[in-house]
Structure 1
Amino acid sequence: MSGLLLRLAGPMQSWGEHSAFGERDTLPHPSRSGLVGMFAAAQGVGRDEPLDRYDALRLTVRVDSPGLRMSDFQTVGGGLPRERTVPTAEGKRRPENATTIVTRKAFLADAVFTVAVTGPGTEDIGAALVSPHWQTYLGRRSFVPDPLLLLRRGVADPVEELRTGVPLPRVRVPEGAESVPVDLVVEGGADGDDPRTGGDAGRSRTTLNDVPRSFASLRRLYASREVRVDSVRVPVALVSRGWRDYQDRLFAYVKEHR
């Protein structure tokens, strides 16, 4: 099925699945809620609007570089008079010795992912990403994506392009190897097996609570989905020799398929 190809890269990105105020987690790969939020922002879909238009989309994530998981240690309300600190749920103020709130926010540093998006409506999503209504970001508003967010749209088989076409950053290549392994995060369990992935299909499976049903501020709702990680082999010719070579290959790939 036709669709589009995205490249998610930047100094920092975060893809929370069960975050609370004090502890903001991140998955090791882009979440469905984060990607749907990106599409909705680009298309100008308000937080109170229904999201069922995205239900039929299928997302396949290639982990080009997992990055480094890090955590920000932040405080809220420290050093302020009690009457100016963060209020409690009851509208009161915290005791004098508990006015500072500690938060920890996890993120991925220098990670790179390529995402194949297939299904109805991808042409409209691609057009919106070229000229977004609201700014797109990598999980948090301050995490701005690198250039070449949208690699291609109108791709006949985006999943096959992950295996055979889109350049890879530099990775270790054994001497004489003709292919290298990469991870694909695929939606669906055994019933969603895709023969094109090949390799060690279903190496790990998990259930994520990241299917958005509502982004409304006071009633955010999420459903669950099953994903698996497949280890597949891609041609060594896709591997770049360094950062500059990787940039050159990406721009050449995009230019070639305009």
Structure 2
Amino acid sequence: MSQRDTHVRPTRSAVIGLLAAALGRRRGADLSDLRGLRFTVRTDRSGTRQVDFQTIGGGLPPVKAVPSANGDRKKDGTATIVTRRHYLADAAFTVAVDGDKEVVDAATRALRAPRWPLYLGRRSCPPAGPVLVAHGLDDAAGALATFPLHRARPYGTDTVKVDIAYDRPPAKGHPARHRVMDDPETFDEYRRSWGVRTEYVSTLTLSTELCAGLGTDWINALANRQQAST
């Protein structure tokens, strides 16, 4: 049985893959410019883990094939593989992208008019809202402390705590450190590979005034913020 796990937040591989698709990069294309970018991920809503049971074509020999309803095995070359695929449902994240201005500007243009359709981990999971929510920031990572949260405002409290994950050591604080293998070296179909990197996770306490609600309420809060900053 095949297992397709998921991380608790968008990985470097996921974000770089999203940008590569928007830019129209084919599998096997050079990723060095995108790998030079810095990604900071804020967890607005952590969501819940869901597991989807699927069968996919695998071309296995009959002895390894999945039994059919009458107890037989499928013919050679027509076997299927049983797979469990893990997803995050009802999750929301805000990702800050910092780095070389030319690369960031090119990615911004591509997200406005992507070359290929964008999806979140699986082709069956298109983005539910705008992918590009702001641009032209001097410090995108720093803006996460003031950017609208895509979550409902809680009652009975003035603050909320959110996780912030950095792919570089943050300037302040003592974050937890995790080793994750999600730094893509190549997306080539036949020789995909990833490097190991350190993820730094800390908790930020923010005002509930930043909780902008869901759906159109959040989108309207983004629009109002953009207007106020121009």
Q: TM-score range by the shorter chain?
A: 0.7 to 0.9
Structural RMSD (CA) = 2.2
* 2:19 matches 1:36: no
* Matched length: 217
Cα distance, 1:36 vs structure 2 = 0.4
Secondary structure of the equivalent of 1:41?
Answer: helix
Q: How does 1:133-172 map to 2 (within 5 A)?
A: 133-172=115-154
Contact 1:167-1:239 within 8 A present in 2 as well: yes
Q: How does 1:66-215 map to 2 (within 5 A)?
A: 66-76=46-56, 86-88=58-60, 92-94=61-63, 96-97=72-73, 99-120=79-100, 121-175=103-157, 177=158, 179-188=159-168, 192-195=169-172, 198=173, 201-202=174-175, 204-215=176-187
**CA deviations over 1:69-104 (Å, ceiling 9, x no partner):** 000011246xxxxxxxx423xxx4446447553210
Q: How does 1:3-42 map to 2 (within 5 A)?
A: 22-42=2-22
TM-score using structure 2 length: 0.85
TM-score using structure 1 length: 0.77
Contact 1:182-1:233 within 8 A present in 2 as well: yes
Q: Rate the CA distance shift 1:159–1:174 in 2: closer, same or farther, 3 A.
A: farther
| Percent pairwise identity | 33
Cα distance, 1:243 vs structure 2 = 5.3
Unaligned runs of 5+ in 1: 1-20, 78-85
* 2:40 matches 1:63: no
Contact 2:154-2:208 within 8 A present in 1 as well: no
What amino acid maps onto 1:132 in structure 2? P
Cα distance, 1:237 vs structure 2 = 1.5
Q: Distance in 1 between matches of 2:123 and 2:213?
A: 32
Q: Distance in 1 between matches of 2:111 and 2:213?
A: 29
Secondary structure of the equivalent of 1:152?
Answer: coil
Please name the residue that 2:68 is paired with.
none
Unaligned runs of 5+ in 2: 66-71
What amino acid maps onto 2:217 in structure 1? D
Cα distance, 1:171 vs structure 2 = 4.3
Contact 1:173-1:180 within 8 A present in 2 as well: no
